């Protein structure tokens, strides 16, 4: 199966390497798509080596083929997994905005969508974020997490932590096996 693994700007972005690695070990073709902010937390090269595929970060990266890379990935995807997913990306998805390849793939794909949020607890609980999450659920997206309580990178304790990698992978595998 082909999985588009979206990685957004969150301190939890480093966990995407473990998720990508396990999905590849499970026999999936993993194509990583990063927001520019994600590159501040983990390098594209790390994800490229682990996934064995080029990493898409910018629409400028798509000059190699006649068909735009984000459309090709959207067409080939069996699952789009965004882990970690920031409040900004949730907002882009919910409002149909496409400022980057990840949001463009979201708008163009017919694949199942699994979103694993990770952010500050105040951001997660904000009414705007919750409205956006409700909209995405109405649109058919599935969510896993965030964890309800724990120490966050920002020093606060509360909701917002990325779910454990093994739980995210298990949920992704269930979605794929039901197709």
Q: Is 85 a catalytic residue?
A: no
Rounded distance between C-alpha atoms, residue 159 and residue 118, angstroms: 9
Torsions phi, psi for 57 (to 5 deg) = -125, -40
Contacts of 88 by beta carbon, 8 Å cutoff, 6+ apart = 8, 9, 35, 37
Contact 20, 29 (CB under 8 A): no
List 32, 85, 141, 154, catalytic entry: 154
The Cα angle at residue 25 between residues 85 and 51, in degrees rounded to 5 = 55
- CA nearest neighbour of 16 among 26, 28, 39: 39
**For residue 29, what are the β-bridge partners?**
2
- Integer distance in angstroms from the first to the last C-alpha of the chain? 10
Give me the active site residues, please: 154
């Amino acid at each position: 199966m082909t999985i588009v693994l979206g990685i957004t700007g969150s301190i939890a972005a480093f966990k995407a390497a473990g998720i990508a690695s396990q999905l590849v070990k499970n026999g999936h073709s993993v194509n990583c798509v990063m927001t520019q902010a994600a590159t501040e937390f983990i390098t594209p090269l790390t994800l490229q080596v682990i996934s064995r595929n080029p990493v898409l970060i910018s629409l400028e990266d798509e000059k190699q083929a006649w068909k735009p890379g984000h459309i090709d990935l959207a067409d080939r995807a069996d699952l789009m997994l965004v882990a970690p997913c920031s409040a900004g990306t949730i907002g882009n998805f919910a409002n149909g905005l496409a400022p980057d390849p990840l949001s463009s793939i979201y708008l163009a794909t017919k694949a199942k969508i699994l979103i694993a949020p990770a952010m500050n607890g105040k951001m997660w609980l904000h009414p705007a974020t919750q409205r956006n999450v409700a909209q995405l659920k109405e649109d058919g997206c599935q969510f896993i997490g965030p964890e309800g309580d724990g120490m966050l990178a920002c020093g606060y304790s509360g909701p917002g932590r990325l779910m454990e990698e093994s739980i995210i992978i298990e949920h992704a595998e269930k979605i794929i096996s039901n197709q």
